[in-house]
Amino acid sequence: MSALVSSAAIADAAARIKGVARHTPLVELPGEEGGPVYAKCENLQAGGAFKIRGAFNFIARLDDAAVRSGVITYSSGNHAQAVALAARRRGLAAVVVMPTTAPAVKVDGARRLGAEVYFEGTTSVERKQRAEALAEERGLTMVPPFDHPDIVAGQGTVGLEILEDCPEGTRVLVPVGGGGLVAGVSTAVKSARPDVTVIGVEPAGAPKMSKSLAAGHPVTLDQVSSIADGLIPVRPGELTFAHVRRYVDEVVTVDDEAIAAAARWYAERAKLVVETSGAASLAALQSGVVGVAAGPTVVVVSGGNVSLDTLHGLSS
C-alpha cells in the first residue's frame, strides 16, 4: 500500500486542476434543525460530479507515452464521464467499462464526451477485470476510480474548498463508495482542522467501509444492493481504507428509503438536482442516523447525474 496522501499533495492537485474543475458553491439548506446546514454542490461540477478532480489530476500527470496510448477505467458512471472529460481536455482517447445496469444518463454522458463504452456485469469486480484485460490487450493506461494517490489528492480539493468557504464549520458528512472522496476530504480537513468531525455515509445495502473498519482490514462483500448506484463497490480500496481509519471519525449507514427521501427533498425544497448517491449525506441527517449539531454542518453533494424520470420515480 502507498503511503498516505499528504495535505501538500492535495494543495498541488488544487493548482493542477484549476481551470478544469470548478470551485463549487456552498448553499445553505432551508429548514434544518440545529445549526446551519450547507450543501457542497458537486452536482454543479464539470461532468456533474466531483470525479473530474481526481481524474484530471491523474491524467495531467501522465507521461507522453501514456498519452499516446490512451486511458481506460471502470466505473458505475460518474468516474467514466470524468475520465472521458479529462482525456478530452488533454487530447487522448478514453475507454470506459460500465455495469450493464448503469443509468442511461451516465452512459450517454460518457459517450457524449467521447469515450468508447464497454459493458460488463453488475459489480465493481467484474468491470475491473474486464478493464484490466482491455488495458493489457490494447496497451491502455488504467485510471483507477478511487484507490490511487493522485485520485485521492484530487478529491481532497473538495475539502480545501469547504475549509475556505466555511471556516467556522464543525462537521462534514461525505458519501462513501470506494472511499476516494471521503479519504481526500478527511485528509484535507483534518490536516488543517483536527477539531472538525468528519462522518462517512454509505448505503445500508453496501456497507463495505463499515464492515472493513469492523474487521480491521478491507473486506469484499458477497453482494450489494442500493438505489445509490455510485456507492456500491463491493470493496473499499487499500489506500482509501487506510485514510478512513486514520482521519474519519465515524462511518454510518442509511437505508434506501432515507436516501430517496433526501433526493426528493433536494428537488422540492432546495431546488437542486441531486442523484441518489449524492443525497446520502443529507439522508443521514434527515433520518436521524446522525444527530443535529449546534455548529455549521456541511453535507457533500457528490453528484447530480440523474434523469428527471428517475427523480420522478422516487416520489412517495
56/45 same-domain check: no
24-33, 114-123, 193-202, range with greatest mean pLDDT:
193-202
208 is catalytic: no
Residue 168: predicted pLDDT: 96
Residue 32: predicted pLDDT: 64
Catalytic residue among 186, 210, 212, 302: 302
Residue 316: predicted pLDDT: 56
Residue 180: predicted pLDDT: 97
190/273 same-domain check: yes
Q: Supply the CATH number for residue 107's domain.
A: 3.40.50.1100
65/78 same-domain check: yes
Decide if 39 is inside a domain.
yes
137/56 same-domain check: yes
135/199 same-domain check: no
Decide if 94 is inside a domain.
yes
Average pLDDT over residues 219-244: 95
Q: Which residue, of 142, 158, 178, is where some domain finishes?
A: 142
302 is catalytic: yes
Percent of the chain with pLDDT over 70: 98
pLDDT in tens, 80-103: 999 999 999 999 999 999 999 988
pLDDT in tens, 252-286: 999 999 999 999 999 999 999 999 999 999 999 99
Decide if 208 is inside a domain.
yes
Decide if 205 is inside a domain.
yes
21/155 same-domain check: yes
252: Cα within 13 Å, side-chain hemisphere: 22
Residue 31: predicted pLDDT: 80
pTM for the whole structure: 0.93
End-to-end alpha carbon distance in the chain: 45
Catalytic residue among 40, 51, 190, 211: 51
Q: Are 144 and 8 in contact (CB under 8 A)?
A: no
117/185 same-domain check: no
Residue 263: predicted pLDDT: 96
pLDDT at 2 over 80: no
Decide if 1 is inside a domain.
no
Sheet harboring 71-74: ordered strands across?
A: 116-119, 94-98, 71-74, 141-142
Decide if 2 is inside a domain.
no
pLDDT at 33 over 80: no
Count structural domains, the chain. 2
In whole numbers, what is the pLDDT of the chain averaged over residues?
A: 94
96/233 same-domain check: no
Give the integer Cα–Cα distance in Å for 32 and 52: 30
Q: Which residue, of 115, 142, 169, is where some domain finishes?
A: 142
- Spatial CA neighbour of 232 closest among 114, 157, 125: 125
Average pLDDT over residues 120-133: 91
Q: Which residue, of 125, 142, 159, is where some domain finishes?
A: 142
Domain that holds residue 135: 52-142
